[in-house]
């Protein structure tokens, strides 16, 4: 199967309005629920607006509960959950811009590997979001393939999770337009990321897509009646917008209004919850411990890319910004670089921060950086090996993507609306 077939948009799907009128969403009140839901720690919010702070706290509590309760472990889930039981649904994705780095992996993708054991998962390469900024089409095409291969290399199993390209399912763009028509522009102008980027680039250099892409993000989430969305703190505002849009659409077009239009009434969209990992949700830059590690940062030395070789990783770690204070410690707000590097070491080795703090308290930076570089290299080597195997097998990668996009994702979207 050729790459050109894989990355060609599928045949147009029937309009979203037709699906909504014929197959309204119904609550799964009789469906077995996750134990955390029954305890009220991971339940869907009501239609009332919930402040971002409260949403973050509940999401963090939910994540901590899953991490500490043995009953929610993958092994326990396999033995307790019936094959026919409906799992809560998770959707997440990363833009195929630049090279995926250690922050993407530790903060997002590695958590997805655990989520695929507990939830019905949809992991998307969000290529439509990537075109809000200037890009080279051929480079974006290749980056899309590389991102999909990286998902698999990091442990996402195509047999248990849906890995697909956003643009292959045209309903993402269709729903985004319908949601845009019902979303006040004032909501979008409040988005912090838009304000920052528009001030940096200037009004004439910022595209309309940069203003409206949070609506496309909302469409990505609401399209699949998503229960839980893994997000970092910097994306919480966008998730809150998706919740507000869902509630607004339910209020304006759901319930009795829907019945009068010939539908069966009820809630149109499920209001999604947030999942924030207890650790690793925000890996910081190697050159500035107060800034998030980013693909868009000008300095490549600010990040460790997942495909960097041993020598390059050692160079980047060696040159990472540190302070002049004696000893190493975690959690000191005046030493963000120390907290970041120790956190990366903990995440790569699996050693708790308490043990690490005792181990490195008398170390000099030079000694610790050698230890950190070795840990990062050892952690990334199997991922890099698997990546090269996947990216070299065009037939396998194409089949994974095509199967998810055509055979599972698009039909499942219809089934979810019928549910």
| Cα 10 from Cα 253, distance rounded (Å) | 29
Tokens of 389: 């195997």
Top pLDDT among 33 and 270 is at: 270
**Res. 314: pLDDT tops 60:** yes
Top pLDDT among 360 and 15 is at: 360
CA-to-CA separations, 237 to 140, 227, 411, in angstroms, rounded: 27, 17, 30
Note the pLDDT tens digit of each residue in 274-309. 987 665 557 999 999 999 998 888 899 999 999 999
Q: Examine the residue annotation and report whether 257 is marked as an active-site residue of this protein.
A: no
Note the pLDDT tens digit of each residue in 170-219. 999 999 999 999 999 999 988 887 877 777 776 677 888 888 999 999 99
| Cα 121 from Cα 94, distance rounded (Å) | 14
CA-to-CA separations, 234 to 56, 67, 191, 391, in angstroms, rounded: 11, 22, 11, 31
Which of these, 121, 118, 111, 122, lies nearest to 34 by C-alpha position?
A: 118
pLDDT value for 282? 77
Note the pLDDT tens digit of each residue in 355-405. 998 888 888 999 999 999 999 999 999 999 999 999 999 899 988 988 877
For residues 231, 235, 240, 242, the Cα torsion angle rounded to the nearest 10 degrees is -80
**Res. 54: pLDDT tops 70:** no
When pLDDT is averaged across residues 331-343 and rounded to a whole number, the result is 92
Top pLDDT among 129 and 99 is at: 129
| Cα 94 from Cα 232, distance rounded (Å) | 12
Of these residues, 292, 316, 321, 369, which one is catalytic?
292
Q: Examine the residue annotation and report whether 197 is marked as an active-site residue of this protein.
A: yes
DSSP assignment of 156-195 equals --TTTEEEEEGGGSTHHHHHHHHHHTTS-HHHHHT-HHHH
Of these residues, 22, 138, 190, 197, which one is catalytic?
197
Q: What is the DSSP letter of 70?
A: G
Note the pLDDT tens digit of each residue in 115-168. 998 999 999 999 999 998 888 999 999 999 999 999 999 999 999 999 999 999
Q: What is the DSSP letter of 132?
A: T
**Res. 37: pLDDT tops 90:** no
Contacts of 394 (CB under 8 A, 6+ apart): 3
Contacts of 30 (CB under 8 A, 6+ apart): none
Of these residues, 78, 195, 259, 295, which one is catalytic?
295
pLDDT value for 281? 59
């Amino acid at each position: 199967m050729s790459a050109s077939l894989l990355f060609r948009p599928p045949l147009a799907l029937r309009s979203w309005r037709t699906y909504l009128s014929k197959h309204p969403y119904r609550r799964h009140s009789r469906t077995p629920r996750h134990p955390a839901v029954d305890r009220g720690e991971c339940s869907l919010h009501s239609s009332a607006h919930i402040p971002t702070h409260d949403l973050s706290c509940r999401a963090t509590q939910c994540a901590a509960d899953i991490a500490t309760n043995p009953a929610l472990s993958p092994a326990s889930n396999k033995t307790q959950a019936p094959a026919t039981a409906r799992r809560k649904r998770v959707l997440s994705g990363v833009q195929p811009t630049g090279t995926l780095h250690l922050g993407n992996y530790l903060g997002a993708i590695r958590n997805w590997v655990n989520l695929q054991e507990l939830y019905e998962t949809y992991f998307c390469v969000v290529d439509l979001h990537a075109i809000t900024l200037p890009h080279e089409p051929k480079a974006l095409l290749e980056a899309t393939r590389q991102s999909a291969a990286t998902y698999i290399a990091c442990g996402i199993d195509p047999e248990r999770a849906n890995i697909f390209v956003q643009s292959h399912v045209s309903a993402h763009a269709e729903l985004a337009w319908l949601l845009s028509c019902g979303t006040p522009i004032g909501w979008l102008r409040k988005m912090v990321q838009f304000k920052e980027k528009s001030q940096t680039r200037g009004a004439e250099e910022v595209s309309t897509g940069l203003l409206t892409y949070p609506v496309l993000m909302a469409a990505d989430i609401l399209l699949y009646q998503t229960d839980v969305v893994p997000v970092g703190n910097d994306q919480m505002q966008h998730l809150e917008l998706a919740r507000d849009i869902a509630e607004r659409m339910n209020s304006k077009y759901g319930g009795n209004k829907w019945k009068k239009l010939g539908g069966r009434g009820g809630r149109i969209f499920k209001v999604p919850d947030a999942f924030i990992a207890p650790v690793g949700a925000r890996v910081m830059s190697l050159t500035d411990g107060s800034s998030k590690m980013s693909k868009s940062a000008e300095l490549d030395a600010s990040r460790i890319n997942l495909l960097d070789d041993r020598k390059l990783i050692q160079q980047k770690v060696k040159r990472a910004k540190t302070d002049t204070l004696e000893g190493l410690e975690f959690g000191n707000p005046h030493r963000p670089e120390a907290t970041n590097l120790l956190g990366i070491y903990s995440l790569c080795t699996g050693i708790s921060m308490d043990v690490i703090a005792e181990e490195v308290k008398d170390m000099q930076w030079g000694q610790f950086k050698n230890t950190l570089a070795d840990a990062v290299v050892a952690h990334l080597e199997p991922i890099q090996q698997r990546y090269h195997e996947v990216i070299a097998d065009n037939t396998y990668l194409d089949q994974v993507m095509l199967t998810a996009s055509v055979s599972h994702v698009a039909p499942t979207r219809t089934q979810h609306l019928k549910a």
